[in-house]
Every structure is written in structure tokens, then in C-alpha cells.
Amino acid sequence: MKTLGLIGGMSSESTAIYYRLLNEGVNLRVGGVSSASLIVWSFDFAPIAAAQSAGEWDALTLKLADAARRLEAAGADAVMICANTMHKMADEVQAAVGVPLLHIADATAAAILATPSRRPALFATRYVMEQDFIKSRLKDRFGIDVLIPDEADRAELHRIIFEELVVGVVKPESKAAFAAMVERLRAAGADGVILGCTEFGMLMTQAETDLPVFDTALIHAKAGVDFALQ
């Protein structure tokens, strides 16, 4: 089994989800008492979130590249960034190490292309929805053209993430608001739902809509298991 190096803490809630999914995935495939071989570098999310808000992406890039190098030095055979937003610096992180970076957008695109969906709605932080580092990768490399919510919904999604989900709070009114956003983008032509924040599986699952749901944390973790056991 190969060892995965996880860059986490962004947030700790989503990193815990990754840890559980990776261990469950390995155990399901291997059986017995098997679990994943993991090395975890978990950031304090408070200064990370503050730097994101201030637009200090160069400083954040240095932090993630350093974490990736430390994981490689500790024995990781591949690196995973356990967040969508921090894939903004994925190319720089990959360049900092000699092992592969398992990119969340590539794994998500493969899952989408296995379905009829080609114009899914993308729900995420403002950074992911409004900047191009995920959207352009999906479109340019895979021909997937996403729809994003309007300004008011983007602001509310960002608030839900940073005020509720990253500290493990799931409110019924936020679940209802999210479901309403999904329906608004369905009416605009969306044929799928990308949960482009790794905490959004706390708000919606496939059981709650008849549109195909692409939970990036689930998909990314599966890609990690596939790599570890190949």
C-alpha cells in the first residue's frame, strides 16, 4: 500500500471527513482490519482563513509548498490538498515535490464524465466560484462548463461555510437554503450538483435531490484510495 500525505486543517471538519473516508475505503477494498497509510499535516485554519480573506495567496502558496515537501520527506508517495480553495496553488505545490499531487478537480471531472452531466452547478467558497482555478480546469481540460449561483447566493454560501460548517455546525435553515439554491440553478439549466466545498456533504447528499451530486470530498478520497492500492 502506498502512503498518502494529506495537507489538511482547511478546515479540520473536512480533514476528519477525509481521514474517515480514506480509512473506510481501504478497509472496504482490502478487508480485515486494514486501514490507510496516511501522514497528515494539519494547519491551524484561523490564519489560513484570514490570509485568504486578505488575498495573501503568495504567502499561502509558500505554506502549502512547505507542507508538501515535509510530507514527501516523511515518506508520502502522493500529496492531497484536503480542500478545494487551496487548489488555487496546486501547480506550485506540485512543482515543489517529486511525488504526484492528486488534484481534486481532475478526480471530480472523471466522476462527472462518467455521467450524462456536462453543465453542473458549482457550489463552493467565493474563491472557487468567482476565480478560475477550478472552473477553467474543468472547462479547458474536460469540456465541463459549470454554472455558479448569483451574487446573493454566493455570499450566503460563503457565510455558511465560514460561520457554520468549518466549526461543525449544520443548521436546518442552511440545508433548506442550499436546497433552494440547487433548484434555482436547475431552473437555469444545471444538470448536476458539484459540492465544491469539502464540507458541503454535511448539507446535501445524493438522497436529497434527483440531480447527480458530485461530492468533491468523497470523489477525492476515492481517488486517494485508488492511488494507494494500485
* CATH number for the segment(s) 105-215: 3.40.50.1860
Q: What is the pLDDT of residues 160-182, one digit of tens each?
A: 999 999 999 999 999 999 999 99
Q: What is the pLDDT of residues 37-76, one digit of tens each?
A: 999 999 999 999 999 999 999 999 999 999 999 999 999 9
DSSP annotation of 3: P
CA proximity to 227, closest of 33, 10, 25, 70: 25
Residue-level pLDDT at 146: 98
CA distance 148 to 218: 21
As its CATH architecture, domain 4-102+219-229 has: 3-Layer(aba) Sandwich (3.40)
pTM: 0.97
Three-class DSSP category at 119 = coil
Mean pLDDT of the region 6-16 = 97
The ranges assigned to domains in the chain are 4-102+219-229, 105-215
Please answer whether residues 65 and 90 qualify as being in contact, where contact means their C-beta atoms are separated by less than 8 angstroms. no
Residue-level pLDDT at 82: 98
Domains 4-102+219-229 and 105-215 share a fold: yes
CA dist list (Å): 51 to 61, 103, 160: 11, 22, 19
CA 208 to chain centre: 20
Residue-level pLDDT at 53: 97
Residue-level pLDDT at 72: 98
Q: Quickly state the pLDDT bin for 145 (edges 50, 70, 90).
A: very high
For residue 191, give the amino acid letter. D
